[in-house]
Structure 1
Amino acid sequence: MIIKNYLLLFFVLGFSCNKENKATAVSENKHKNEIVSEEKPRVEINYSDYYKEAEQYCKKNNLNQSKFILIDLSVHSGYKRFFIYDFKKKAISKSYMVSHGCGDNQWGRTSSKAKPQISNEFDSHCSSVGKYVVSNRGVSQWGIKVNYVLQGKDKTNSNARSRAIVLHSWDAISDNEVYPEGTPEGWGCPAVSNESMKEIDELLKTNKKVLMWIIKS
């Protein structure tokens, strides 16, 4: 009788633990699914209208008609959103990670990875949208120590030079996509990774007066 009671107790305890483990597993899986559902997946965007307008703009303003740069700040900063478009091939030839300005948030964090603040005002620490012409190559204190002056051509980015907004690299920027994490945010400059800047630098040394168009659709 004693043995039977022990066996019965063992069976009950085993069944209870197994039931509890299953309930925990279900709860964990449900939590994981909820997290995944909260993440915003990549959305393919058709930029054909931007390509056409950029090509017309470059012809009208005697800018480089081989390539131009499109940066889409409406894309989550954990994704590649810096695109080099080849006018002749009518296709994106390269894409890179790029940072945006932190705005009211803390420098170096990723607080606005999905919704960057936009401003042309001094000391806003924000990125500015609009068309830029990539100008002189200079020396930077960041990354590979190379930067390119950006001349804002629209009302929305007219203070770019006065705000010292330049294209440069930054050690904190990843070569690869990091979504759902974001890219560290600076004070408004479009910053890329060191390896990316090496490639971009080679491109810009041989292609002058390149259009850079920063958008936020």
Structure 2
Amino acid sequence: MESERNMLFEQLKSLEEMKVYLMSQINRIGGNDAAIKMTSVYPMAKVKPMIINGYPVFQFSYEGALPLYKESDRDYLAMIRHYYFRATHDSYDFSKVDYQFDKSVIIIAQHFENKIIRDLDNRNRKLIQDAIRHTGLIGDDSWWRVWNFDIGFLDPRGNHVQVFVVSQDSFGDFMTYLKEKYFHLAKIPKATLKEEIFEEYRARVKREKKEKVSKEKERLKSLSNTKSEKFWG
């Protein structure tokens, strides 16, 4: 069980490393139009400021489920932190927002495509909160200024995460609204150009593997020749 768990985490790390390469290719061909500046992650979040029943709400939408948390793997955590920070900051020009919540609630609504048992208490949620804090929307995130609320919804369209920032005074009203309108409120980022980029990545991996095999053959051949010369004097 432990070896299988470690293998899965290594695969997740490889996927994140692959994202870095894929993002460079997407930027190269101009496929990341959602970004307000050149970025290193994909897909970007969708950010939408709204007025609901007369009060402001900020919505952040992220593709896919929150990745698993593994405190002991610092490289993996660094990649996940980088993704959520850049996906949040590079998707909207927050310098144009002349508003800051005094006392707020960050509602993290995780949407799942099936009813497989999952834990909403994923500590990678903190990475999203940190990214939102750096937008300037909520100031510091001390316990009395920022509350956190987790909720899950079933959504056959797929896994995604919708995050809402609302004032503490409007929290009760908004939760009533969210429970009724969550399906239509969701803005799901779509991964465009995915197949084209994946195919380019697969070609690169295949090419590098072929080069590695070739270099290894050359090394063994060289080593074999050296041993023969020493043997025969």
TM-score bracket, normalised by the shorter chain, equals under 0.3
Alignment TM-score, normalising by the size of structure 2: 0.26
Larger Rg: 1
Alignment TM-score, normalising by the size of structure 1: 0.28
